[in-house]
A and B are shown apart, each in its own frame.
Chain A
Amino acid sequence: MIMIELIGILLFGGVLALIAEKFHPRAPVWTALAVIISAGIYLLWVFIDLPAISSQPTDPNNAQTWLMHISLAWIPSFGIRLELAMDGLSLLMVALSLVLGAVAVCSSWTDVKQKLGFFEANLLWTLAGVLGVFLAMDMILFFLFWEVMLIPMYFLIAIWGHEKRAYAAMKFFIFTQASGLLMLVAIITLASLHQQSSGEWSFSYFDLLNTPLSQQTAHYLMLGFFIAFVVKLPSFPFHPWLADAHTQAPTAGSVILAGILLKTGAYGLIRFAIPLFPQASLEFSKVAMLLGAAGIIYGAVLAFRQTDFKRLVAYSSVSHMGFVLLGIYAWNELALQGAVMQMVAHGFSTSALFMVAGSLQQRLHSRDLNLMGGLWQSMPRMGAVSLFFIIASLGLPGLGNFVAEFLVLLGLFQTDRWLAVIAALGLITGAAYCLILMQRSFQGEPSEKHRGLVDYGGREMVCMTVMMLALIILGLYPQPVLDVARPVVVGLLQFAGAGVNLAGLAP
């Protein structure tokens, strides 16, 4: 019930925020923050009671080895159940979502000028949907959350976005919906094959894992899932929606999009695409890794060319997510751990950069790098904060992103040496676009018209400090995160390696 309650708190909190506006114009932000924090406390409180996360691998086949599991009847005619489960990976993702959710609320503090209640409600409903995605174990339920979380996100972009919001929101929705439909077809086909072989309808992950499939069928079904997840990730060549959606979304929307929504794609690959079709994924892993490597380089090149602050950060996400894709398909413990680490670290570093972009937009009414330059003079605190996150983003040792990228490269080297070399180039290109971002915005000649801009105040600094601390901890002492993810990773490797000989396992 805990997981249902967690989602319920956020859903209900959205309604509360909507109502709260009637009482006081600023009440929705406080309500939203209180709701997210109470959800976080609830999660913590539950985990103090639970036995410590064991080092026993989480067996994908056996729900008993998971941290939590619940299964209730929903549509018995088709064996669709209200089935949720949590393991270390979902736990990490849920925690990340709640933290970044709170950050997103803070970033909407002064940013949102109109219809604040509806804004915060949509924010909370998106979070609820994302939590559902990370927890759902029934494939139809998973699909439901996958689609439904898009609707409030669509509203966030379409109502509070910037100049080209209509176009961006539409592009975002259609890309994800069209690929989602492919996944729905794949889910139904898989369940229908399972029904033919076992005689019973079931959409449960635990049942579908061992569906006997012919090689060709498995390949097509895997592609259905792969495309849906890779569009969300996004990987080259499915990234065109991302730059527009990120650029046009309001700051809080960009934080949610970059910090959390992109991770649902990576999560889906780790949780569903590979374990459901291990053999087909193995055969496909070369292509996926090539896409990842191409994404790293291509994203970096595109980012380097941008003159729009947010667009640059958006394309850097494509590059960073390329590491995640590489890490997942390299399919060994190091690389997978790296991918998980990258998901968390990227969540913080990119969200923070989007918040900087949002603050700049608020002050300069523009995101154009050509109009910036020398901002450090007038806003030293903001400059320092930006510098921190920019060097985090380029992978400076000691910060979270470095650990992630290093682990991915280390794991990848065991699988495919040359790809690791190409991917390592991403670190150089990363430095290029990150430094140019810093130079063009905060360094250089100070301009007359930028005199008297308001620097970061206390609330913003608190928010940023939380994220800086998170990245430093991830960089200096990543072990707790790795420990939480390890049972899952090992369990998955054991499971997927049981049937097939995955390339990554042979050193």
Chain B
Amino acid sequence: MSKIELLALQPIIILSLSTLVLMLQTSIKRHSGLARMIALLGLGLALLSCYSVSELLTQQNSGVAAMQITALIMVDQWGLFFTALLLFTAMVTLVLSRQEKAEDDRGDEYYLLLLLASLGAIILSQANHVASLLLGMELMGIALYGLIAFSEKSALGLEAAIKYLVLSASASAMLLFGFALLYAASGELSFAGIGAKAAAAYQQNPVLVLAAIALLLSGFAFKLSLVPFHMWTADVYQGAPITITAFLATVAKAAMLIVLCRMFIDAQLQHYSSFINALSLLAIASMLVGNILALRQLNIKRLLAYSSIAHYGYLLIVLIAASHNQTLITEASSFYLCAYIFSSLAAFTALANLHIDDGAEDQFSLLKGLFWSQPWQALLLTAALLSLAGIPLTAGFIAKFYIINSAVAGSHWLLVGSLVIASATAIFYYLRLIFAMSRPADTEASTVAVISHSQNLLAFLLLLLVLWLGIWPQPLISYLGGL
């Protein structure tokens, strides 16, 4: 491995090193504040290094900005962009985690696990080999089991963690089996290799390849919580601490989607029409079922869980519709992921700032009167929800524009129709939340959360991001188009 290659791995190396440092620190003196600083520093440095790696890539090979490092990792601008995005998201989650963990002297483990999960996520965003995919996925998954169960107070957390453990392990097993079958058929484990050989293998033994693809698809569907593999989502989201729910909805799922996109492109899965058809079914089911189930939720975390199911259903449309246009896949899915990540982060930030994190069944009453007691948090939550609903002037609208655009370009009218019905349904529950905020507060129930400056700053930053992507998206569009 040359020096340049090592340099290109900077984000992964820095994050691994900070994990080690954090472990050492824990063994010397347990201090959650220090652990928090180290974790934040590690993530921040890794984020900065993404920039230098990107510079390195542009110098290294002009034009073709991609570097294969060993058989496992592919460093390219697209992957780097997502590495940076995921690191940023992890940082936001970390900053949000403050209030819950401040008095908790076991907080250092929390930060360690969060770092490990982020490491797994960025490995996923750069993986182009089955081994690195599994490595990243399991690293992220195992850290998440611990994180989901982290809150000692509630039994829900434990239940959620066990549910996630069992289902996620079975999903991993399916993926493994699928990869094994693919390997049996094609003799390759790298995505590109599979792409090159699987078509020929398909001619010889279609059943084997199709079975492999079916297993892969269900494995991914579990991880992305697509209907009908979505059963775990609401319970896990509800049971986990709110910051971890945010992490699950954004980082964990986005990383899986990125690796799915990469595999889709490199392994040329678009040639298997049964795969595309199955994907369409999953997309339609997720959009409709996700939104319909969200209608009746009174617990906001559960509501956002179902909304995330629907959103990943929308995202699949890009894969299906743009299956013959690689640049559109990357551009549209990147923009959508950005918009979705920022909007849900904004929503979770507002909820975390307002301490809306108990297992209470009906959380709508907690939102009452928010427009007047906490106008900024209410504004942030409103912007986030409108963005999730895809209303213009927010990031979500441009994202939805991309989705409709790619579906129309591919003439997938069934998908467009489902999208329209699903979005119209979705507006109902997003509006219910906004409406709850505009109700007069119950005098006795209203608790005024004290919000620190750093939290306010973060809230403001996210609000700005959501609106900026909606009002002036051109810079990001140009950037993504150039990747």
Q: Which residues of A contact B (CB under 8 A)?
A: 74-78, 115, 118, 140, 143-144, 147-148, 151, 154-155, 158-159, 166, 169-170, 173-174, 177-178, 181-182, 184-185, 188-189, 192
Instruction: Flag if A174 contacts B424 (CB, 8 Å).
Output: yes
Query: B477 interface residue, CB < 8 Å from A?
Result: yes
Instruction: Flag if A75 contacts B473 (CB, 8 Å).
Output: yes
Q: Given A185-B404, A192-B405, is A177 in contact with B438 using a C-beta cutoff of 8 Å?
A: no
Instruction: Flag if B392 contacts A148 (CB, 8 Å).
Output: yes
Instruction: Flag if A151 contacts B391 (CB, 8 Å).
Output: yes
Instruction: Flag if B477 contacts A75 (CB, 8 Å).
Output: yes
A400 to B401, CA, bound (A): 42
Q: Given A148-B393, A174-B427, A192-B408, is A77 in contact with B477 using a C-beta cutoff of 8 Å?
A: yes
A35 to B427, CA, bound (A): 32
A292 to B420, CA, bound (A): 27
Chain B nearest CB: distance from A15 CB in Å?
A: 13
Q: Given A185-B404, A185-B408, A188-B404, is A76 in contact with B474 using a C-beta cutoff of 8 Å?
A: yes
Q: Given A166-B435, A188-B408, is A144 in contact with B428 using a C-beta cutoff of 8 Å?
A: no
A78 to B391, CA, bound (A): 18
Q: Which residues of B contact A (CB under 8 A)?
A: 371-372, 386, 391-393, 397, 401, 404-405, 408-409, 416, 420, 423-424, 427-428, 431-432, 435, 438, 473-474, 477-478, 481
Instruction: Flag if A148 contacts B391 (CB, 8 Å).
Output: yes
A151 to B477, CA, bound (A): 27
Q: Given A174-B427, A189-B408, is A182 in contact with B420 using a C-beta cutoff of 8 Å?
A: yes
Contacts of A115 in B (CB 8 A): 372
B interface majority secondary structure:
helix
With a 10 A CB-CB cut-off, give which of B392, B393, B404, B405 has the most chain A CB atoms: B392
Closest residue of chain B to A76 (Cβ to Cβ) is: B474
Chain B nearest CB: distance from A123 CB in Å?
A: 16
A118 to B378, CA, bound (A): 14
Contacts of A184 in B (CB 8 A): 401, 404
Instruction: Flag if B408 contacts A170 (CB, 8 Å).
Output: no
Instruction: Give the contacting residue for A158; candidates B372, B405, B416, B438; CB below 8 A.
Output: B438
Instruction: Flag if B408 contacts A177 (CB, 8 Å).
Output: no
Instruction: Flag if A151 contacts B386 (CB, 8 Å).
Output: yes
Instruction: Give the contacting residue for B420; candidates A155, A170, A185; CB below 8 A.
Output: A185
Chain B nearest CB: distance from A159 CB in Å?
A: 5
Instruction: Flag if A170 contacts B431 (CB, 8 Å).
Output: yes
Closest residue of chain B to A73 (Cβ to Cβ) is: B474
The list of the 4 closest CB pairs from A to B, nearest first, reads A178-B424, A144-B392, A181-B420, A77-B477
Q: Given A75-B477, A184-B404, is A158 in contact with B435 using a C-beta cutoff of 8 Å?
A: yes
Instruction: Flag if A185 contacts B416 (CB, 8 Å).
Output: yes
Closest residue of chain A to B386 (Cβ to Cβ) is: A151
Instruction: Flag if A181 contacts B473 (CB, 8 Å).
Output: no
Instruction: Flag if A177 contacts B427 (CB, 8 Å).
Output: yes
Instruction: Flag if A192 contacts B409 (CB, 8 Å).
Output: yes
Closest residue of chain B to A182 (Cβ to Cβ) is: B420
Instruction: Give the contacting residue for B424; candidates A169, A177, A189; CB below 8 A.
Output: A177
Chain A nearest CB: distance from B244 CB in Å?
A: 32
Instruction: Flag if B474 contacts A188 (CB, 8 Å).
Output: no
Q: Given A178-B424, A185-B404, is A169 in contact with B435 using a C-beta cutoff of 8 Å?
A: yes
Contacts of A185 in B (CB 8 A): 404, 408, 416, 420
Could you list some 11 contacts between A and B, CB below 8 A? A118-B371, A144-B393, A151-B386, A158-B435, A169-B435, A170-B428, A174-B424, A174-B431, A185-B408, A188-B401, A188-B408
Closest residue of chain A to B391 (Cβ to Cβ) is: A147
A189 to B417, CA, bound (A): 13
Contacts of B386 in A (CB 8 A): 151
Chain A nearest CB: distance from B147 CB in Å?
A: 36
Contacts of B405 in A (CB 8 A): 78, 188, 192
A155 to B435, CA, bound (A): 8
A140 to B397, CA, bound (A): 11
Q: Given A173-B427, A181-B423, is A77 in contact with B408 using a C-beta cutoff of 8 Å?
A: no
Contacts of B423 in A (CB 8 A): 177, 181
A140 to B423, CA, bound (A): 18
Instruction: Flag if A170 contacts B424 (CB, 8 Å).
Output: no
A189 to B420, CA, bound (A): 14
Chain B nearest CB: distance from A457 CB in Å?
A: 30
Closest residue of chain B to A173 (Cβ to Cβ) is: B431
Instruction: Flag if B474 contacts A170 (CB, 8 Å).
Output: no
Instruction: Flag if B435 contacts A74 (CB, 8 Å).
Output: no
Contacts of B401 in A (CB 8 A): 78, 140, 184, 188
Contacts of A74 in B (CB 8 A): 474
A166 to B423, CA, bound (A): 20
Contacts of B481 in A (CB 8 A): 77
A151 to B430, CA, bound (A): 12
Chain A nearest CB: distance from B111 CB in Å?
A: 39
Contacts of A140 in B (CB 8 A): 401
A158 to B432, CA, bound (A): 10
A287 to B101, CA, bound (A): 65
Contacts of A173 in B (CB 8 A): 427, 431
Instruction: Flag if B409 contacts A77 (CB, 8 Å).
Output: no
Chain B nearest CB: distance from A381 CB in Å?
A: 35
Instruction: Give the contacting residue for B474; candidates A75, A148, A158, A192; CB below 8 A.
Output: A75
Instruction: Flag if B393 contacts A154 (CB, 8 Å).
Output: no
Instruction: Flag if A77 contacts B478 (CB, 8 Å).
Output: yes
